[in-house]
Amino acid sequence: MYRLIAIDMDGTFLNGKHQISDENIAAVKAAQEKGIKVVIVSGRQHKSIKEFLNRHGLECDAVGLNGAEFLDHNGKEIYIQWMEKESIKAVIDLCEGEKAIYQIYNSEHIITNELQDPFNEFKKIVKMHNPNAENLLERTEMFYKGIYDGGIVEKDVLGFLQKEGMGAIKMLILSHDEEKLIRIQERLSQREDLTVTSSFRGNLEIFHSNTDKGIALLQIAKELGIKKEETMAIGDNLNDIRMITEAGLGVAMGNALEAVKQKADFITKTNNENGVAYAIKKFVL
């Protein structure tokens, strides 16, 4: 019997139109009615996750920024894992040297060094991997504008953080240049103070070394007195792998990357086929 279900958001709980289907909503509510804890675990900020959940009448705890930001369904802070100041400076220095776009996330803000259209690099990435997908490009731009609403653009990001007394929970690096991303990833992966992962092609996500979705899953289970074998995790991308392998039952979406599918115990339907609902019905309801 599974008592805790951890669900990724983009590419998993959300369909290709960045919506939560009625089928997925019904399955989550049915699981909750059976006393099962459902937690959304995403690379998004907690406030972005909650906007989606509130819009669909869902009350779930949410772990944002890849496991670094955990708040309950009432918005009460359980824990936040901040990056070290030295780590932030090292990432910024490397990105500036590579002329890479980067973003810094905390609970309330997104700060970026992109001085022109903040969606330029997103557009290049989408066009590179989906050259004929005009509808996808439009949906992606709307999606990131929703996330980026209220973002802060600064030429001297590090100076701004120091002046405002702000920290970082997550840093995101964007580039349509895959060789540049590989160089950056290789450099950052050598550091013991950082966790480096990716949520889609064309990006890197950087956190404190004690942060990932798998660690978050185990922490939540421990706090609730739930055994590891009583947990289930569903995801689609590289940043979901640890969560999937740590869970008692690891489920990969039908649209997941092959590397994710290889680590999963079960492959469900795609996010456009209500794969979350299918897995919950099969193993829980």
Say whether 93 is catalytic: no
Question: Which of 8, 61, 212, 236 is labelled catalytic?
Answer: 8
Residue pair 282/253 in contact (Cβ under 8 Å)? The answer is: no
Q: What gap in Å lies between CA 166 and CA 105, rounded to an integer?
A: 10
210: tokens are 């004690």
Residue pair 183/196 in contact (Cβ under 8 Å)? The answer is: no
Region label for 167, one of left (φ > 0), alpha (ψ between -120 and 50) or beta (otherwise): beta
User: Could you identify the residue written with the tokens 């490009």?
Assistant: 137
User: Which 3 state secondary structure label does DSSP give 31?
Assistant: helix
284: tokens are 């829980």
Q: What gap in Å lies between CA 260 and CA 242, rounded to an integer?
A: 9
Q: What gap in Å lies between CA 91 and CA 102, rounded to an integer?
A: 9
174: tokens are 């964007």
CB atoms within 10 A of CB 95: 24
271: tokens are 């996010």
- The residues carrying an active-site annotation are 8
